[in-house]
Amino acid sequence: MRLTLGPLQYFWPRRQVLDFYAESLDWPLDVVYLGETVCSKRRELNLRDWVGLAEQQTKAGREVVLSSLALIEAESELGALRRLAGLGNVRIEANDISAVQVCRRHGVPFVGGPSLNVYNLETLRLLQDDGLYRLVLNVEMGCELVAELRQAAAAAGCDLPELELIAWGRLPLSYSARCFTARALDLAKDQCGFRCIEYPDGLPLSTREGRHFLTINGVQMQGAENCDLLPEWTELAAAGIGLLRLYPQQHGTAQAVRRFDAVRGGAAVPPREPGCTAGYWSGLPGMQPPP
């Protein structure tokens, strides 16, 4: 299985982003997703910076994919995406149907991101006709739905595209037009002061009993814990998952990539990292600890 580095979901200072990706050049990765997926107001890096990072990663032998916003609301956001598509020779992760339409119009091959709602073969084939060459499974898609998808494809006599699964990092759960970081700081979104930059690993949200429950990341909500599907490695390979996505987190990303790569190289499958969930893979609710 190939290892991918998902798009950075948090707002980090420019220097930290550049250092992170420079460091990642040494990691055993096959695909790197770059770009801002959560909030268009986050502009520590401009398009030229991202393109520069893309060139570095390409030189290091990685497939580079530029990720779109998960929620596209403004014409300016669409315009930015059209400029990306117009660069030529790029691949885009479409995280919104708007992005699918832009890719289709420009003839750009695209990855269907996890916030596109692809739950069945009929939808998937339509997107393949539009240029989808890989699907990152929606967080809810566990082993059962993947098996069903495979059976449906076999019955229809068609090939599935490459399937990528979120295997490490915090799960992206929902998106809003409201910024929850700004709300927590009692700021209006339009005058947010870009304060989410103060929370490079998100802002923890707990229940009134003190249970860490969710993570606030601007307009996005994530789970509290990282998911770690390395213990399921053999099962994932058998299910036909072609790529495993690791999301950049403030801590532990390099070690996580190396742990996954070690198993890929033949090392014994280790136990789950302490405190991590198994996401939705086995069919349980995403937050539940695995049995």
Partner 1 sequence: MLLVCPAGNLPGLIAAVDAGADAVYLGFRDQTNARAFAGLNFGDADLRAGVAYAQARGRKVYVALNTYPGPSRIAQWQGAVDRAAEFGADAIIAADAGLLAYAARTHPRLDRHLSVQGSATTQAALSWYHEHFGISRAVLPRVLSVQQVERICEQSPVPLEVFAFGSLCIMVEGRCQLSSYVTGQSPNRHGVCSPASFVRWEDHADGSRTVRLNSVLLDVYASGEAAGYPTVCKGRFVVGGETFHALEEPTSLNTLSLLPRLRSAGVAALKIEGRQRSSAYIRTVTRVWREAIDRLRQDADRWRELPEWNAALSAHAEGHQTTLGPYHRSWH
Q: Which residues are annotated as a binding site?
A: 39, 179, 192, 196
Residue 210 binds to partner 1 (criterion: CB under 8 A)? yes
Rule CB under 8 A: which of 30-89 touch partner 1?
70-75, 78
Of 177 and 268, the one with the shorter C-beta distance to partner 1 is: 177
Of 54 and 179, the one with the shorter C-beta distance to partner 1 is: 179
Of 192 and 269, the one with the shorter C-beta distance to partner 1 is: 192
Buried b or exposed e, range 241-251, using 16+ CB within 10 angstroms: bbbbbbbbbee
Asked whether 135 and 111 are in contact (CB, 8 A), the reply is yes
Asked whether 112 and 33 are in contact (CB, 8 A), the reply is no
Q: What are phi and psi of 86, to 5 degrees?
A: -75, -10
Tokens matching residue 216: 């606030």
Token look-up 């250092």 returns 19
Contact range with partner 1 by CB under 8 A, out of 40-48, 116-124, 241-249, 252-260:
116-124
Select from 47, 119, 252, 254 the one that contacts partner 1 (CB under 8 A): 119
Rule CB under 8 A: which of 162-191 touch partner 1?
171, 173-180, 183-185, 188-190
> Cβ 191 to partner 1, closest distance in Å?
10
> Cβ 251 to partner 1, closest distance in Å?
20
Binding residues for [4Fe-4S] cluster: 39, 179, 192, 196
At 136, the amino acid letter reads V
The Cα 144–Cα 216 span in angstroms is 29
Residue 209 binds to partner 1 (criterion: CB under 8 A)? yes
The Cα 275–Cα 164 span in angstroms is 23
